Chains A and B, each alone.
Chain A
Amino acid sequence: MKKLVALVLALVMVLGLTAAFADDYHFEIVSKGFQSTYWQAVLKGATEEVEKINAEGKDKITMNFVGPDSESDVAQQVQQFTSALNAAPAAIGFAAVDQNAFNDLLKEALEKKIPIIGFDSGVPGAPEGAVYANASTNNYVAGTVAAEGMWEKIVARIEAAPGTVRIGEVNQDATGESVTQRGLGFIDKIIELAAAKGWKVAVIGNEFYVNGVKGEKAAEADAKIIIEAKVPAQSTVELCANEASVLLNEDDLISVFGSNQVAAEGVVAADKNLFKCGTGDDTVIAVGFDSGATLKAAIREGVMYGAVTQSPVGIGKVTIDLLLASAKGEPVADTDTGCAFYTLENIDTPEIADNLYD
């Protein structure tokens, strides 16, 4: 027994010495998990950047990239973040699944002077100074980009329509920052574009989205456009598909927006039975978000009109750069990694294709 303890202690001492000698930067990155292939692309971007920097020889980086089973597993992510803190890394990259559960831990990181770099949706509401910088998409803007892309296609139809038209929106949840910002951004932009044409817009459906809209809402009876926002009980593709089915079954629906990959895949799955979506004038114009094999196939087949892509590989790369800079004590600033609307026309162009993934 004593020999075993001695062996263990010796091992730990030796490893401790090793750590002291290497010019290692160890980063802990806590993401939102790998539920959608989007995150695999972020991981790819981060891994490639780490390899590139290590190959240059000046700094040596190691990273531990983890995430919970799904974006709703708050407890798991709290445990993972605590573990990341306890590993005493040079810096932590973090994309919080929930804005409220991490305040104490972030304060602890601040006290321990461990830099935190937010990425993807970052860490909104973090205590002052805890998060040094963010590498993320501006999700509200991304929602407006989706609205603008869709508007081009549908504005003529709305003009020609005799009665009211309906635009659907499927949001995976009413709680995550990315999805809610995109959902609200989309609705606000539609209201703005409609107002320029003198049309009134009513917003119905899930309470959170109805109440969160900043634009001016009209009553259903007066409106030319009705926007219906739906949120399933659980953020799975099957349940999103059920909500999308209800929208697709409504006869006055002219377009639908799925505000993230899961919701967009739900729309595609629902349409497999209903055949409502397409790119023609008598079909429902579907707009999605991110990419992935299902959505790319849907766009190529003409089922989905277009989607908004973020730059997940870019997010991974920029996160590593920011982590290294903050670990060295250099100043860091927020970086908007951008988003773009793509359709069948530009899906193969290099700027778009680099950001798409399976």
Chain B
Amino acid sequence: MKDLLNRFKSLKLVRIMGFNRVVLIGVIIVLCLIFQVLSAVLNHGNVFLTYARFTSAMNYGYFIGFLALGVTFVIATGGIDFSVGPVMFCAALISGYCFNNYGFPMWVSLIMCPLIGMVFGTVGGFFVSYLHLPSFITSLALMQIAKGVGSIFTKTQNVSWPGSSDPGGWYRSLSNLDITVGGQRVNIPTGLIILIVVAILCSIVLNKTKAGRYMICLGANREAVRLSGVDTRRWEMLAYVICGTLAGFAAIFYVGCYTTVQPVKGDTFNNEAIAACVMGGTSMAGGLASILGTVIGSFIIAIMQEGILSMGFNIAFQYSLTALILLGAVIADVMSRRRRN
């Protein structure tokens, strides 16, 4: 058994992607099979593995994916960001409100989203890297502030972005493009393409640029970096700025699929984004980050949600199951690190 495991680990593909990631992909495959069988058995012959369910699952996965990508940068530096969900909502609320009530053109509203996220990221990053406040509290406080700002701006009203046939509704094709092929309506998951492109960009920034390498070093051994005399503050702040910008960017995909945003909501998405990130192998202790793992983690969460609905289970199972998978991933990670040491 151990031989088999070692031979598997030495495969080139596994070495490139990392053992953890391959295990996660295995988890996805197993989950899909389980969902397929159980949906048919428990929910009146419901078929899980259809293209429609795939695109539906992906709808949930896009914004979680962007949130998780942003959080990966922050966690790599050894910090944490609890504000991403409400910041995303705040961006969507303010930009949508401006579009609906002040007549901003759609492309302006779309650009406003990541910009608003960037503002929150900058503020948070400043407090953490220049004033050395603990990131946990700063992001908690920012979360409350984001919730408050969004709600006050829209006077506690919901904001509904335009539908696909309304003026300005073209933003929805950033998430899902519906084209007619030979009389049939086919849904192209454009959001997935954008997610993959952004993920590749993030990976390049994190792994190949100076900024990214400093971020990871900060997480791994903050004292060493400080003693080496390098001014790490702007790199740490950059991580938070990227996180905030991505959270704002995620807003575009949230409204692209779900249209309406409510004020003072969004906390649950924090948990799922962080869970996706940590599942994927990014270490909470900092210093170890995997963009690919984060993307796979987001897929797991999205597929889990869809699978549970498809089986006809109470949607609350999603939270408990995600918690268990998260724990499993972290324990495996901790065990493997212990063995290595």
Contact = CB atoms under 8 A, between A and B. Distances in A.
B160 A18 contact: no
B156 A233 contact: yes
B315 A8 contact: no
Nearest to B255: A101
B10 interface: no
A100 B45 CA distance: 31
A68 interface: yes
Contact of B316 (A26, A69, A80, A234): A69
B309 interface: yes
Contacts of A231: 156
Interface residues of A, number: 45
B37 A11 contact: yes
Interface string B38-69: 00110111110010110010011000000000
A204 B121 CA distance: 38
A72 interface: yes
B312 interface: yes
Given A64-B43, A86-B50, A233-B263, A78 B151 contact: no
Contact of B44 (A26, A72, A83, A101): A26
A249 interface: no
Contacts of A79: 56, 59-60, 305-306, 309, 315
Contact of B37 (A8, A82, A175): A8
Interface in B122-174: 151, 155-158, 160-161, 163-165, 172
A235 to B, nearest CB: 9
B257 interface: yes
Contacts of B33: 4, 8
Contact of B309 (A26, A74, A83, A173): A83
Contacts of B172: 104
Contacts of B60: 75, 79
B259 A98 contact: yes
A207 B155 contact: yes
A73 B262 CA distance: 9
Nearest to A86: B52
Contact of B264 (A101, A111, A234): A234
Contacts of A66: 309, 314-315
B56 A83 contact: yes
Interface in A251-293: none
Contact of A11 (B40, B43, B258, B265): B40
A175 B260 CA distance: 11
Contact of A72 (B36, B56, B161, B265): B265
Interface string B204-227: 000000000000000000000000
Nearest to B187: A108
A6 interface: no
A111 B183 CA distance: 12
B56 A98 contact: no
Contacts of A103: 163-165, 259
B303 to A, nearest CB: 12
B260 A86 contact: no
A12 interface: yes
Nearest to A28: B312
Of the four ranges (under 10, 10 to 19, 20 to 34, 35 or more), the interface on chain B belongs to 35 or more
A66 B315 CA distance: 8
A344 B161 CA distance: 45
B185 interface: yes
B254 interface: yes
Interface in A81-122: 82-83, 85-87, 98-101, 103-104, 108, 111
A51 interface: no
A83 B306 contact: yes
A198 B151 CA distance: 39
B160 A111 contact: no
Instruction: Name which of B36, B260, B312 has the most chain A CB atoms within 10 A of its CB.
Output: B260
B166 to A, nearest CB: 9
A103 B172 CA distance: 13
A86 to B, nearest CB: 5
B125 to A, nearest CB: 28
B109 interface: no
A338 B156 CA distance: 31
B56 A86 contact: yes
A80 B306 CA distance: 9
Contacts of B282: none
Given A12-B40, A233-B263, A233-B264, A78 B158 contact: no
Interface string A30-69: 0000000000000000000000000000000010101011
Given A79-B306, A101-B259, 19 more contacts: A12-B40, A19-B44, A62-B44, A66-B309, A68-B315, A74-B258, A74-B262, A83-B310, A85-B52, A86-B46, A86-B53, A86-B56, A99-B160, A104-B164, A104-B172, A108-B185, A175-B157, A175-B158, A208-B157
27 contacts: A8-B36, A11-B40, A15-B40, A15-B45, A18-B45, A19-B45, A62-B44, A64-B44, A66-B309, A72-B262, A72-B265, A74-B262, A79-B306, A80-B309, A80-B315, A85-B52, A86-B53, A87-B43, A87-B44, A100-B160, A103-B163, A103-B259, A174-B157, A208-B155, A233-B156, A233-B264, A234-B264
